[in-house]
Each structure stands twice: as structure tokens, then as C-alpha cells.
A and B are shown apart, each in its own frame.
Chain A
Amino acid sequence: MEPFVTPAAVDTKLRVEHVNIVFDRDGKSTPVLNDISLEVGDGEFVCLLGPSGCGKSTLLSTMAGFLSPTSGEIKIDGEAVRGPDPRRIFVFQERGVFPWLTVEGNIGFGLFKLPRAERERRIAYYVKMVGLEGFERTYPPELSGGMKQRLEVARALAVNPDMLFLDEPFGALDSITRLIMRGELLRIWEAERKTVIFVTHDIDEAVQLADRVVVMSARPATIQQIVNIDIPHPRDISSPRYLELRDGIFKQIGLAHKL
């Protein structure tokens, strides 16, 4: 039985090559990322896990093209990343949905180049996929936190990207909604098989979702360890293997704090 895919078995989607990032602020330079190298396979679900403020969100923003590395390079499909691209959508930890557009308007936001009929077909499809039927004409302030997050995921999926970058997308939700949302995300991921890079500081979340967990150290961030989560979905979160992997990462993070 081989429930998980090793990166070697599939095409490489994303390649991070010796990336360093140094922030210059008020004449002081702060190193944020220290020689990060990473490969992510096509269709893989990878979690970047690390303590708050370690630079994992910076790494994600760099992969998405919002920041450029001080040195090193990020390549997607063999091409160097030069800026944001509709083929790779970033889902923000803050409320990234547009409050001035309805649910329909938000989902259709990235579809402005499509003919009207196709646009409407896709909007209807993704409204249904994330369970927002009946709310098509509703504005985001009237939606719950979980619905807003689902809306943002739907807006991202609607443009049919081949990668999703998720920056602590469920961080602001209550713990019950968060658990439901993880299930939803896995269901969508299994249906659409996008490559997903998911940033979190929640060890349980990482072990529940990812094929591989990239454990990062405190700032300046280095990759401390990459853990393969060899448990098939749906994952039993009380199984000995789950607890073993989780506790292993706990120890790893504990070491990071003792540096």
C-alpha cells in the first residue's frame, strides 16, 4: 500500500532554490529566510509549519510572486516567478473577499475575460461546490466567517489555477468551523488535485492535511525537517501513526525554540 505520492514519483511543480530574503528597514537589515530549498510535486499538498513570525508567510508571498527573493530563485513549471499570476491564486489569512461585491460578483471576479455564459456557468458550479447556494446575491458582511473563507476559496478555484497558496486561511475561525473547513478543503483538493501550499502554525492542522509537512525554524527561517505524512485520507486522528508523527513534529518545534 502506497497511499501518498513521493515527490520523486511525479513532475516537479515548484522548485525553491537557495532563497534568501533580507528586509531592509530604517537602515537595519533583518534576515528573514535563510537558504531555503524545496521541491513540491504536481498535485501535492504541502504544509509550511513554523512558529509565528518565522517567515513562512514571507516564503509563501515570495512563491506567489508578491515579493522577490534577495538571492536565489523560485521556479514554477521550470519558469522563474516574476510576479503574481492567475494560474496561481493566493488565499489570504485576512478577509480577502471584496465586501463591495456579492457572492456571485466575488466568485466571478477573476473571470472577466470569459464570455458571459461561461462565466455564469462557472459561478454557479463553484457556488454549489462551496455550499453557498441561496446566497448568490448576498454581500460578504452578511456571511459568517466560515462562509467568507469558503467564498474566497471558491473565487480562487473559479479561475481554474493549477496552484493554491493558502496563508493560515482558517486562523480566524472558531475551532469547530475550522475542523469542518479542513474537511471541505481536502474534499475539494481530492476532486480538483491542485498543488496546494498551506501555511500554518497549527501542528494538528498540518498533520491532518498535508502529504508533507515542512517544519521551519524561528527567524531567520531555515527548513528544519520535512516530514512525510504516510497516512491515507480520511485520516484517523487518534491512530498511533498520526499521534507518532504529530509528537515527532512537536519535538522538532520544541527544538526550534531552544536554539
Chain B
Amino acid sequence: MKSLAEPKKWERYFWPILVSALFLALWHYSVIWTATRIFPSPLDVERGMAELLRENVLWGDIADSLRRVAIGFGAAVVLGIPLGLTFGWYPPVNQVVNPTMQILRPISPIAWIPVSIIFFGVGDDAAIFLIFLGAFFPIVVACVDGVSNVPSVSRRAGRNFGLAPWQLLAKVVFPAALPQIIVGLRIALGIAWLVVVAAEMIAVESGLGYLIIDSRNSGKRYDLVVAAMLLIGLIGLTLDLGFRRLERIKSVRWGFRNES
């Protein structure tokens, strides 16, 4: 449906692009006016990005970061969803586990760095473990909340049609909780992407986070630092947009609209 207040198609692209352009201009002239020699201008960054691409290091770093997120986030999904569903399904279990989880949950994955290095040594496993930690708790909590928010009417209807408990979980409780679980997964993926960069600054020697630290340490190449930062932002945006497409699947779309 098209309402009168809805922007025209060109406007939907024009204004966001204008704002980005204004931001770049502000950045560019700030560098010129302050005559800084350390902070790079957008053009320096663009040249730095081109240099990284030419030297073919960039793709490897991107692939390493994405691989770590995929494994860490994947493990969090595989463990977190069944655990979260179980805790939500059996409130007594949740009551026992919840206090411990609520203490562990607010601890930033960054604070776990020393501990994860003790466990896994300096290397991939430590970084992946940190990503896992960052993604695991939001997923579990989203599942617990999702399951406990399933209306009792839906559960009763399921029981009325003669479903066994596991069928009730698979056919009623899980689909009813799915929109909330997807929101949790999206938040968890965002956190995973935040954590990978931090983890790579300390625990490993590849990836976009490492690229930032390495560019600074070896010759104060702030053009490369900022280039890597922008790349992190762009990839994060792409991941989020990709995940948002899940919300448009018809069997979960009902959970993402105000009217229903």
C-alpha cells in the first residue's frame, strides 16, 4: 500500500547518499583545516584501501574474520538454541540456571581475553571462543523469553489436537517463539562481529582487527587503520541486512509487524 507520506523512490536513495557525502566532506575539510599530519583524509583512506587490495592481503583478512565469526556464531547457535528452548520449556530448570547465567551474561567478552588465552593459547581457538561467548548468551536469553512468551492459547490449542510434548515443542512453541529468536540471533551476530575485531587485536595475527593494530604498529599507517575500520562497518552492515531478510519469510513475518 502506498501512503501519501511515503517518500518517492529517488528520495529514498538521494537523502541517505547526501548525508554520507556531507559526512565525507566534513571529514575531508576538517583534515585540511586542522592541518593534521597524523589523521588521514578520505582520499588517503581510499588510496590505502586500493593499496591493500593490490597487495592482496585484504581478502585473506576479511575471510579470516568472517570464518571466525561463522564458527563462533555457528557454535553459539547450535548450542544456544536447544539450551534456550529447554530452559524456556522447563521453568524449574530455568530457575536453577538463570542466576548463574545472569552473572556471566553482563561480562564483556573482552574481559574474557586473558582467560581464553589460558584455555586455548594465543590463536584462532581463543578468538573463536570469545565470539562464541559474545553470541551465546543473547541467543539463550532470546530463546527462553521467546518460549515463555508463547500465548497459553497456542499451547492449549496444540494439546487439544493431541500433540505429544515434543510435537508441541516443534509444531507450536518453536514457530511461535521464532520471531523473537530471530531478533536474538541478529543481535548476537552484531555482537559477534564487534567481538571478532577486538579478539583479533590480541589473540591472533590475521583478520581485520589484526590489520588495524598491525597498520598502527608497523609505521603508523592511519590511512590503513581507517580503511580497515570502514570495511568493518560495511561488512557489519551487510551481515545485518542479510539477516534482516530472514524477517521477511512469511511464516515469521507476523512477529515483526505492529498490526496483525
A residues touching B (Cβ–Cβ < 8 Å)?
64, 66, 83-86, 88-90, 92, 94-96, 98-101, 109-110, 112, 139-141, 159
Q: Does B27 contact A (CB under 8 A)?
A: no
In the bound complex, do residue B156 and residue A84 qualify as a contact, i.e. CB atoms below 8 Å apart? yes
In the bound complex, do residue B260 and residue A100 qualify as a contact, i.e. CB atoms below 8 Å apart? no
**Measured CA separation A110–B151 after assembly (Å):** 19
Contact residues, B90-142 vs A (CB, 8 A)? none
In the bound complex, do residue A100 and residue B157 qualify as a contact, i.e. CB atoms below 8 Å apart? no
- The 5 sampled A-B contact pairs (Cβ below 8 Å) are A66-B159, A84-B160, A86-B162, A89-B160, A140-B254
Q: Which residues of A contact B252 (CB under 8 A)?
A: 100
**Measured CA separation A252–B160 after assembly (Å):** 34
Say which residue of B159, B161, B260 sits within 8 Å of A141 (CB atoms).
Answer: B260
Q: A89-B160, A94-B153, A98-B154 are in contact. List 13 more A-B contacts (CB 8 A).
A: A66-B159, A84-B156, A84-B159, A85-B160, A85-B162, A86-B160, A88-B160, A90-B157, A99-B260, A100-B175, A100-B254, A101-B175, A159-B161
Q: How many A-B residue pairs have CB under 8 A?
A: 62
Q: Which residues of A contact B49 (CB under 8 A)?
A: none
In the bound complex, do residue B172 and residue A92 qualify as a contact, i.e. CB atoms below 8 Å apart? no
**Measured CA separation A84–B162 after assembly (Å):** 8
Contact flags (1/0) for B174-202 with A, using CB distance below 8 Å? Answer: 01101000000000000000000000000
Q: Which residues of B contact A92 (CB under 8 A)?
A: 153, 156-157
CB distance from B255 to the nearest CB of A (A): 8
Q: Which residues of B contact A66 (CB under 8 A)?
A: 156, 159
In the bound complex, do residue B157 and residue A96 qualify as a contact, i.e. CB atoms below 8 Å apart? yes
Say which residue of A101, A109, A140 sits within 8 Å of B161 (CB atoms).
Answer: A109
Q: Which residues of B contact A94 (CB under 8 A)?
A: 151, 153
Q: Which residues of B contact A98 (CB under 8 A)?
A: 154, 157, 172, 175-176
For B259, the closest partner residue in chain A by CB is A141
Most buried by B among A84, A90, A95, A100: A100
Interface size class of chain B, counting residues whose CB lies under 8 Å from the partner chain? 20 to 34
Q: Which residues of A contact B253 (CB under 8 A)?
A: 139, 141
CB distance from B133 to the nearest CB of A (A): 31
Q: Which residues of A contact B156 (CB under 8 A)?
A: 66, 84, 90, 92
**Measured CA separation A112–B167 after assembly (Å):** 10
Q: Does B250 contact A (CB under 8 A)?
A: yes
**Measured CA separation A88–B161 after assembly (Å):** 9
Q: Does B30 contact A (CB under 8 A)?
A: no
For A98, the closest partner residue in chain B by CB is B154
Q: Does B257 contact A (CB under 8 A)?
A: yes
**Measured CA separation A124–B176 after assembly (Å):** 25
**Measured CA separation A210–B161 after assembly (Å):** 26
**Measured CA separation A86–B260 after assembly (Å):** 28
In the bound complex, do residue B254 and residue A110 qualify as a contact, i.e. CB atoms below 8 Å apart? no
Known contacts A141-B254, A141-B259; A86 and B176 CB within 8 A of each other? no
Most buried by A among B154, B157, B159, B171: B157
CB distance from B182 to the nearest CB of A (A): 12
Q: Does B251 contact A (CB under 8 A)?
A: yes
Say which residue of B161, B172, B175, B255 sits within 8 Å of A86 (CB atoms).
Answer: B161
Q: Which residues of A contact B151 (CB under 8 A)?
A: 94
Q: Which residues of A contact B160 (CB under 8 A)?
A: 64, 84-86, 88-90
